[in-house]
A and B are shown apart, each in its own frame.
Chain A
Amino acid sequence: MGARLFKNFSFFSATLSFFILIGVFSVLFSYAQEALHEFGFDFLYNEVWEADEDDEGGIFGGYVPIIGTLLSTLIAMLIATPLAMGIAIFLTEIATEKMIQPVSVAIELLAAIPSIIYGMWGLFYFAPIVQLTVGGNGVGLLTAGIVLAIMIIPFMAAITRDAMNTTPPVLKESAYSMGATKFEVIKDIVMPYAKGGIIGSIILALGRALGETMAVAFLIGSVMSIPSKITDPTTSIPVLLANNFAEAQDLEMSSMYYLALILFIVSFAIISLAKFYFFRKSII
């Protein structure tokens, strides 16, 4: 009796996540129908997002938030990747036993900070610094990108470190015995061995950066325009959704579901790529 109940319960739990995934997708897809019908694929290239005066229709295009999402994520990745690699290499190859623990804990704590706190810190402390040093409005692509980078570093560093730790010591020792320097061992033994895990970690962090809402909403400026400089404000998909959801109706609401669907598909594709291709190759 108990055993059967337990078996059914675990089966139920396992299938539930699958159904939720399908459920979310079908809700997004069906709610987006009106906008899909109205705008089709032109939605992806249209820069305008403007509702009519009586809120019943309007012209909506996803170009600006899509570009904004991609650019802010790109900036974050460019900053975060080398730093995260540095952290992981330091932790696995360079740090002494005594240092590993505190550095690891600090990195993990960084991951535990809720994103709204990053947003507030970014707006009240970081944005004035950016305005003073780089110019521009303070909030914008660059500020959002830097803070995003800080947010995804812990993820990337932790997964990369785990991947690097799987390098068999015998390989490294053989290299050292051949006269290889530490740098050569890292470059030619550890990095190639952990390649799959490293790329996977980058892709997972990318997925997280794409969907980040709260911190970016504080920092990106939320303006519907294509940035011409790195310090210009723009908007991203999650930020646009968060800002406009309460007030939108009909076609605008449907257009927002369209955007959500795009984000869903992109994130889904990215995570699948990481999971099924890169992780399968290396750690599992």
Chain B
Amino acid sequence: MIFKKIYITIAALLMLSVANADEIKGRGASFPGPLYKAWTSEYFKTTTNKVNYTPTGSGDGIKSIKKRMVDFAGSDKPLKPKALKKNGLHMFPAIIGSIVLAYNLDGVKDGQLKLSRKAIIGIFSGNITHWDDNEIIVQNPDLNLPHEPIILAVRADKSGTTFNFTYFLNKLDKNIKVSKKPTWKSSRVVAGKSNSGVSANIQQIKNSIGYIEYSFKDKLGLSAAQIENREGYYINPTLNSFQDAAKHAKWIADNDFYAVIGDPEGVTSYPIVAATFILLPEEKNEINKKVIKFIDWAYENGDKVATDLGYVPLPTSTKNQIRQYWEDKKINW
């Protein structure tokens, strides 16, 4: 009896793995991980087509697609047209997300702390070392900021989130290099692995501040700062301010949509936004069609899920541009 049960289980498992041979496999950026997970399960429910995405990190995604280990890859860092050509890849954006500066300060609630561009540069370059530094106090006269050292919570692993954050810092101060894993100059740095590791460090360490993806701030109820945008306004990280920022992104199909959209124009734009990209191998036309079909479905039906999770859907005009791009590359079905 029991053997029969085991036998049936094994047979079922084998059948499952046979059925799975047809699924689409992707891996890469962890930044859009929660969203892709929601999209794929919804897609499976409506079309019974399986897409499997493993959020391992942008660098891993790029590595895997270069070696053709997966059908598509996610990356927060866009590849330059030259690199795409060299490796035979197509690229287009999938969704827009945002990065917040979350902090752990006694008595300072969510959205109360205002950080000027000068203050952000000072904090992350190690020139501002204490919370009661003049640069911070000037913008926050009502807050009771302690004379305690600022502890930076950063990423221990290479990360697309770090790339997009340092891209923003670089816009403010050219001395800061854009990098997936920079060497931070501040003397008080604590690093954690992935967005969840950094979030845990911020939660546990008093007087810390760090950059994380918005959905983690939302999920864990962390406090995040208002940030001075390009036009000099202090903007709270909200879906509306992300959407306003997304409107200013400029995409061009000619260079495979290569664009880093951080620090956009507009008085109501939240400044630290980032797009995440999909990479496809150009020679695998049949599989690419299946991937495209999934992405197109997501563009069509996935905006609500995305907004619920704290992401910003691409504007319709951009989506149409991308559909045109697929047609030009002859991967449309």
Question: A residues bordering B, Cβ < 8 Å?
Answer: 48, 50-51, 53-55, 123-124, 127-128, 131, 137-140, 217, 221-225, 233, 235, 239, 242-244, 246-249
Contact = CB atoms under 8 A, between A and B. Distances in A.
A71 B263 CA distance: 42
A221 B204 CA distance: 12
B176 to A, nearest CB: 13
A244 B158 contact: yes
A48 B56 CA distance: 25
Contact of B59 (A217, A243, A247): A247
B63 interface: yes
Given A123-B204, A139-B190, A247 B178 contact: no
B206 A128 contact: yes
B38 interface: no
Given A55-B59, A138-B190, A138-B205, 13 more contacts: A55-B158, A123-B200, A127-B205, A137-B188, A137-B208, A139-B204, A221-B191, A224-B183, A243-B156, A243-B191, A244-B156, A247-B60, A247-B63
B158 to A, nearest CB: 4
A48 B205 CA distance: 26
24 contacts: A51-B158, A51-B181, A55-B180, A127-B205, A131-B206, A137-B151, A137-B190, A137-B205, A138-B206, A222-B156, A222-B191, A222-B192, A223-B156, A223-B189, A223-B191, A233-B191, A235-B156, A242-B193, A244-B156, A246-B57, A247-B57, A247-B58, A248-B158, A249-B63
Interface in B182-239: 183-184, 188-193, 200-201, 204-206, 208
Interface residues of B, number: 32
Contacts of B2: none
B15 interface: no
B321 interface: no
Interface string B56-86: 1111101100000000000000000001000
B189 A233 contact: yes
Interface in B138-188: 151, 156-159, 177-181, 183-184, 188
A223 B56 contact: no
Contacts of A54: 83
A246 B205 contact: no
A138 B205 CA distance: 6
A115 B176 CA distance: 37
Contacts of B83: 54
Contacts of A48: 183
A2 to B, nearest CB: 25
A225 to B, nearest CB: 8
B190 A233 contact: yes
A140 to B, nearest CB: 8
A138 B181 CA distance: 23
Interface of B: 56-60, 62-63, 83, 151, 156-159, 177-181, 183-184, 188-193, 200-201, 204-206, 208
B167 to A, nearest CB: 11
Nearest to B178: A53
A246 B180 CA distance: 13
Contacts of A247: 57-60, 63, 157-159, 180
Contacts of A55: 59, 62, 158, 180
Contacts of A225: 189
A178 B59 CA distance: 72
Nearest to A244: B157
Contact of B193 (A128, A137, A217, A249): A217
A72 to B, nearest CB: 15
Contacts of A224: 183
Contacts of B56: 246
A31 to B, nearest CB: 16
B258 to A, nearest CB: 14
B157 A246 contact: yes
Nearest to B66: A249
Contact of A131 (B158, B192, B205): B205
A283 B83 CA distance: 62
Contacts of B190: 137-140, 221-223, 233
A196 B178 CA distance: 55
Contacts of A243: 156-157, 191, 193
A12 B206 CA distance: 56
A91 to B, nearest CB: 36
A78 B51 CA distance: 52
Contacts of A128: 204-206
Q: Which of A55, A223, A233, A248 is most buried by chain B, counting CB atoms within 10 A of its CB? A: A223
Contacts of B158: 51, 55, 244, 247-248
A90 B12 CA distance: 56
A1 to B, nearest CB: 27
Contacts of B204: 123-124, 127-128, 138-139
Contacts of A248: 59, 158
- Residue of B58, B191, B192 with most partner-chain A CB within 10 A: B191
Given A137-B151, A137-B205, A243-B156, A249 B59 contact: yes
Contacts of B179: 53
B58 to A, nearest CB: 8
Q: Which of B180, B190, B201 has the most CB of A within 10 A?
A: B190
A236 to B, nearest CB: 12
A217 B63 CA distance: 24
